[in-house]
Amino acid sequence: MAGPLQGIRVIEMVGLGPCPFAAMMLADMGAEVIRIDRKLAPGANNPFPILGTKYDVMARGRRSLALDLKHEEAKAVLLDLVASADILLEGFRPGVMERLGLGPEICQQRNPRLVYGRITGWGQDGPLAQAAGHDLNYIALSGMLHAMGRADTPPAPPLNLVGDFGGGAMMLAFGVVCAALEARSSGKGQVVDAAMVDGSALLGAMIYGFRAFGAWSDQRGANMLDGGAHFYDTYACADGKFISIGAIEPQFYALLLKIAGISDPAFNAQMDSRKWPELKIKCTALFKTKTRQQWCDLMEGTDICFAPVLDMAEAPEHPHNQARANFTDIEGILQPAPAPRFSRTAAEISRPPAVSGQHSAEILHDWGMSEERITHLKENQVI
């Protein structure tokens, strides 16, 4: 393992969505991340069948220790691990870890340098802190969801990329690495409170700036970057496939007009938003005259700011993605490769997803526990 976080030890309290994604990011970067899985009773049903299988891509790169945290001895094991960890990640509702006797105060008594990373939707405090929610709800409250979608439809869910992963997991990963760097000089850990509503709002920093300046309307589909402009949108082609155009700068827009064969003088008013609806209609008709591949042959690789809209079967086959090795195969599962790239300490996927408890004894041995105690824990079904 040679990534830039080599030597960093992380404990991940297994959950759903943003917490495992953040842990995956840290593991891809070379951190030693161990997953604390639930110790399920024999025959217990798994409500999420993908978990614990090779298809659980976000579980890659880590070993799994299954603990039954109903046992006081299991909590003692976890606190022993905390004593030599740099970071702990958890994604439960506020107060759950405290009720387990594993909150930040207790953990940091065992390890004052511990960075305790917490990810929730609404945050650790505030009127909604204890309410259930999902990605869509958090980005709704941030103001960002309202801006997404067409003018004549309700706001469109952007998968769960903005709340769970962009505004949640990435902010958590960034936060705990920042705190771990600070702890090296101060000798003191701290709690990182990453909330998806906070992070989703932060992702909208540029848009909020545009709005304050008077350059952004709260009306969906009336702005340059939300599909309102004819030169920044997606279009259907003759074969039913789609292309994306992002010709914002004047020189890129001029090239678009030239290569697309547009001579209509109405297009000279690029930034006149009053003309955008009319020009959008004309562009829609134009792009339906050729197939996606024909438009690619004309525009791909130019300064028009163009790309075909690929589905998830097509994207890994595109020559650029292949040249960049943007996708990788792990035990027959095609998945996105680690990012970003490093010139010296290359990130890598160290292992496929683990079955719950697959490495329990191995982890405890590697983290300094005696064979006698490991045997005792097995016999008492703590691990």
Q: Are the CB atoms for 246 and 238 separated by under 8 Å? A: no
Q: How far apart are CA 133 and CA 121, in angstroms?
A: 7
> Is 134 annotated in the active site?
yes
Residue type, 153: T
Q: Exposed, middle or buried, 321 (CB in 10 Å: 0-12/13-18/19+)?
A: middle
Q: Are strands 333-336 and 327-330 parallel, antiparallel or unpaired?
A: antiparallel
Q: At what angle do helices 135-142 and 196-203 cross, to 10 degrees?
A: 50
Q: Are the CB atoms for 331 and 59 separated by under 8 Å? A: no
Enter the tokens of residue 75: 């909590």
* Helix extents (H) in 29-119: 72-82, 96-99, 104-110
Complete DSSP assignment for 134-184:
-HHHHHHHHTSGGGSS-TTSPPPP-TTIIIIIIIIIHHHHHHHHHHHHHHH
Q: How many angstroms separate the first and last alpha carbons of the chain? A: 27
Q: How far apart are CA 353 and CA 340, in angstroms?
A: 21
Of 28, 37, 164, 233, the active-site residue reads: 164
> Is 68 annotated in the active site?
no
Task: Could you list the beta-strand ranges (E) of the chain.
Answer: 9-13, 32-38, 63-67, 87-90, 115-120, 191-195, 232-236, 242-246, 306-309, 327-330, 333-336
- The candidate with the shortest Cα–Cα distance to 247, out of 176, 178, 311, 305, is 305
Q: How far apart are CA 305 and CA 207, in angstroms?
A: 21
Q: How far apart are CA 119 and CA 171, in angstroms?
A: 9
C-alpha distances in Å from residue 152, one per residue of 42, 104, 253, 261, 334: 51, 47, 27, 30, 37
DSSP 3-state of 95: coil
Of 71, 134, 146, 318, the active-site residue reads: 134
Catalytic residues: 134, 164
